[in-house]
Chains A and B, each alone.
Chain A
Amino acid sequence: MRSSLRVRVFSAAVTLALALVLLDGLWHFFSWAIVHAIWSVPRGADGAPDTDLCRAAIGRGACWAVIGEKFRFILFGFYPHALQWRSAIVVALFVLLFALSLNPRFWRPALVAVWLAVLALVAVLMWGGVFGLEFVAADQWGGLPITLILATFGLALSFPLAILVALGRRASGLPVIRWIAVAYVELIRGVPLISLLFMASVMLPLFLPEGIDINKLLRAQLAFILFAGAYLAEVVRAGLQALPRGQQEAAAALGLSYWQATRLVVLPQALRHVIPMLVNTFIGFFKDTSLVLIIGIFDLMTTGRTATLEPRWQGFGNEVYLLLAAIYFAFCFAMARISRLLERRLNEPHLPIVEPA
């Protein structure tokens, strides 16, 4: 009795102490982020913002004014100012596309067509040069559209690649294909993404014949597709491995061809087994796009960093990074939600055996 009382007192004390620490931290953050925050700064005689107010508050209050001043650069980078509405539409299109894909009601073959149409529209809007839209070279693109493009095109293209590679690794009668698939996965997995990006940006042009120039963004995109493809292939393979052999045999015995059996029987089951792992890889990959900073592509992370390089705004990185974190979190959280929805919906057929009424 006495010892159990002592345990309870101890656990109550620990709970209280942790709550106090947490509350104190929250209060400090609240005080910094809201109470003592500077929301805007006056403009000096030359029309430029005067950041003295912010500078005086450093350590005491956040300077959200930096976001107000810099958000267009953070979101869209060096995309021509007057044309940034096109970047904004691209972001909105991506968000709409994701929202649409979140809703199980729209999970039908037509959604693939919608995806293709949106991706084509994104290309038209970003590049321009047609339909009277002014041409914007890819090295002027920046910010959130770059992150979303790298991640979305990367996943949309690496996923089918991963499925082919995973199937290839299991192709028992085709040793050459299996060998290529294994070599691809092991080579890519054994190399850091950063070195892949370096190779894509620095070395690849050396190997290309003269006169052929693939722009830097496309090269980084290729590196991402190859990288994500290798990891996703292993996830897909795990799903294939988990499927009983009898499923393929039953499909074959019914006369379905290899590709019919794969598409209609094997993949729907194999992929469902590995949804959590797939989404995990997707999320990691989404955040990995920020590594293009290394090769000077202005994705969201790079524009955020660059925004606080201007002497006037130096020292206000925390505010900017908080914004970036919020944006990354919003997208990653949405992906996690898709995963949960998918799991719940796809598990419907596996209900426990229902007693006959």
Chain B
Amino acid sequence: MSGPAIRFEDVHKWYGRVHVLRGISLDVASGERVVLCGPSGSGKSTLLRCINRLETHEKGRIVVDGTELSDEPRALKAIRREVGMVFQSFNLFPHLSVLENCTLAPIRVRGLARGEAEARAMEYLARVRIPEQAGKYPAQLSGGQQQRVAIARALCMQPKIMLFDEPTSALDPEMVREVLDVMVELAESGMTMLAVTHEMGFARQVADRVVFMDQGEIVESGPPGEIFSAPRSPRLKSFLSQILHQH
């Protein structure tokens, strides 16, 4: 593929009078793993949610997989098929079993036959190491298990790009590891990944690039080694000192 997997060109967004994204320009190459970090309210989640249009941007262009995002339903549908998303609060469908959570979209959106969709779901549930929970309902699983199911559910659509919106923030500490392990494995398989996370260890281990945002702007970006050991801007320095204090 020629162009970048995701391209932001001078993207702006306002919530009422609050200017939450102030001219974001960013290219994410195919196969690249990018970690977005920054203090809360910096606009990193909003930026992520603009990629599959859970949020709309008011100005600028966002091109995903060669298609520009707009209100045109076909373009939107095409993009959402190729972009998987994992949420902070899992957002599994509580009225469906784990297996049904994983087969719903492949059957309804990709048009897979049920048998095929189930085989694929079992494959991905095995990859996130919980195939034995396929028949259970989300409420019967622990938080870590639910988040792994959510990752498997997104992967069942075989997306080209995966977005992670603070995937470990709602988890008990002892469950963070099992989710991060799955994400590391996924990163190593060559998936294009964009993750908003405070897990700096994860960023160090797998990210090609760390993007630091504050107050709706990209302040600094670069390889994790550079960002963490030689921060240039005072804002990043103070952010890192806060993060490191917590850990």
Q: What is the CB-to-nearest-CB distance from A104 to chain B, in angstroms, rounded to a whole number?
A: 15
- Between A and B, 28 residue pairs with Cβ closer than 8 Å are A244-B89, A247-B91, A249-B91, A250-B85, A250-B91, A250-B92, A250-B93, A251-B93, A253-B54, A253-B84, A253-B85, A253-B87, A253-B154, A254-B105, A254-B154, A255-B80, A255-B109, A256-B104, A260-B108, A265-B93, A265-B104, A269-B93, A269-B94, A346-B95, A349-B95, A349-B139, A350-B137, A353-B142
B87 to A268, Cβ gap below 8 A? no
Per-residue interface assignment for chain B, residues 45 to 81, with 1 indicating a CB less than 8 Å from any chain A CB and 0 otherwise: 0000000101000000000000000000100010011
Q: Of residues 82 to 106 in B, which have CB atoms within 8 Å of A's CB atoms?
A: 83-85, 87, 89, 91-97, 104-105
B238 contacts the other chain (CB 8 A): no
Contacts A269-B94, A269-B95, A350-B139; is A252 near B80 (CB within 8 Å)?
yes
Could you tell me the distance between the alpha carbons of A246 and B92 in the complex, rounded to whole angstroms? 9
Could you tell me the distance between the alpha carbons of A272 and B81 in the complex, rounded to whole angstroms? 29
A257 contacts the other chain (CB 8 A): yes
A56 contacts the other chain (CB 8 A): no
Q: Which of B83, B95, B136, B139 contacts A268 (CB 8 A)?
A: B95
B157 contacts the other chain (CB 8 A): yes
B95 to A272, Cβ gap below 8 A? yes
B153 contacts the other chain (CB 8 A): yes
Which residues of chain A come closer than 8 Å to B153, judged between CB atoms?
A: 254
Could you tell me the distance between the alpha carbons of A247 and B91 in the complex, rounded to whole angstroms? 6
A354 to B91, Cβ gap below 8 A? no
B81 to A351, Cβ gap below 8 A? no
A180 contacts the other chain (CB 8 A): no
Q: Which of A253, A272, A350, A353 contacts B80 (CB 8 A)?
A: A253
Which residues of chain A come closer than 8 Å to B205, judged between CB atoms?
A: none
Could you tell me the distance between the alpha carbons of A289 and B22 in the complex, rounded to whole angstroms? 60
Which residues of chain B come closer than 8 Å to A352, judged between CB atoms?
A: 139
B140 contacts the other chain (CB 8 A): yes
Q: What is the CB-to-nearest-CB distance from B14 to chain A, in angstroms, rounded to a whole number?
A: 17
A264 contacts the other chain (CB 8 A): yes
Q: Which of B54, B94, B109, B142 contacts A350 (CB 8 A)?
A: B94
Which residues of chain B come closer than 8 Å to A257, judged between CB atoms?
A: 73, 77
Residues of A within 8 A of B (CB): 244, 246-247, 249-257, 260, 264-265, 268-269, 272, 346, 349-354
B145's nearest neighbour on chain A, judged by CB, is A356
Q: Which of B54, B81, B84, B95 contacts A249 (CB 8 A)?
A: B54
Per-residue interface assignment for chain B, residues 137 to 155, with 1 indicating a CB less than 8 Å from any chain A CB and 0 otherwise: 1111110000000000110
Which residues of chain B come closer than 8 Å to A353, judged between CB atoms?
A: 139-142
A247's nearest neighbour on chain B, judged by CB, is B91
Which residues of chain B come closer than 8 Å to A251, judged between CB atoms?
A: 93
Interface centre among B77, B87, B108, B153 (most CB of A within 10 A): B108
Which residues of chain A come closer than 8 Å to B93, judged between CB atoms?
A: 247, 250-251, 265, 269
Could you tell me the distance between the alpha carbons of A255 and B97 in the complex, rounded to whole angstroms? 19
Q: Of residues 112 to 161 in B, which have CB atoms within 8 Å of A's CB atoms?
A: 136-142, 153-154, 157
Could you tell me the distance between the alpha carbons of A84 and B73 in the complex, rounded to whole angstroms? 56
Which residues of chain A come closer than 8 Å to B77, judged between CB atoms?
A: 255, 257
Contacts A255-B105, A350-B94 known; list 15 others, CB within 8 Å.
A244-B89, A246-B87, A246-B91, A250-B91, A253-B83, A254-B80, A254-B104, A254-B154, A254-B157, A256-B105, A260-B109, A265-B104, A349-B97, A353-B141, A354-B140
Which residues of chain B come closer than 8 Å to A349, judged between CB atoms?
A: 94-97, 137-139
Q: What is the CB-to-nearest-CB distance from B12 to chain A, in angstroms, rounded to a whole number?
A: 20
Could you tell me the distance between the alpha carbons of A252 and B49 in the complex, rounded to whole angstroms? 11
A264 to B91, Cβ gap below 8 A? no
Q: Of residues 191 to 214 in B, which have CB atoms within 8 Å of A's CB atoms?
A: none
B104 to A249, Cβ gap below 8 A? no
Which residues of chain B come closer than 8 Å to A247, judged between CB atoms?
A: 91, 93
Could you tell me the distance between the alpha carbons of A251 and B157 in the complex, rounded to whole angstroms? 12
Q: Which of B105, B108, B139 contacts A351 (CB 8 A)?
A: B139
The 10 closest A-B pairs by CB, nearest first: A250-B91, A254-B105, A349-B137, A246-B91, A253-B85, A255-B80, A255-B109, A255-B81, A354-B140, A268-B95
Which residues of chain B come closer than 8 Å to A254, judged between CB atoms?
A: 80, 84, 104-105, 109, 153-154, 157
Which residues of chain B come closer than 8 Å to A249, judged between CB atoms?
A: 54, 87, 91
Could you tell me the distance between the alpha carbons of A251 and B52 in the complex, rounded to whole angstroms? 12
Could you tell me the distance between the alpha carbons of A66 and B81 in the complex, rounded to whole angstroms? 70
Q: What is the CB-to-nearest-CB distance from A287 to chain B, in angstroms, rounded to a whole number?
A: 32
B54's nearest neighbour on chain A, judged by CB, is A249
A348's nearest neighbour on chain B, judged by CB, is B137
Which residues of chain B come closer than 8 Å to A253, judged between CB atoms?
A: 52, 54, 80, 83-85, 87, 154
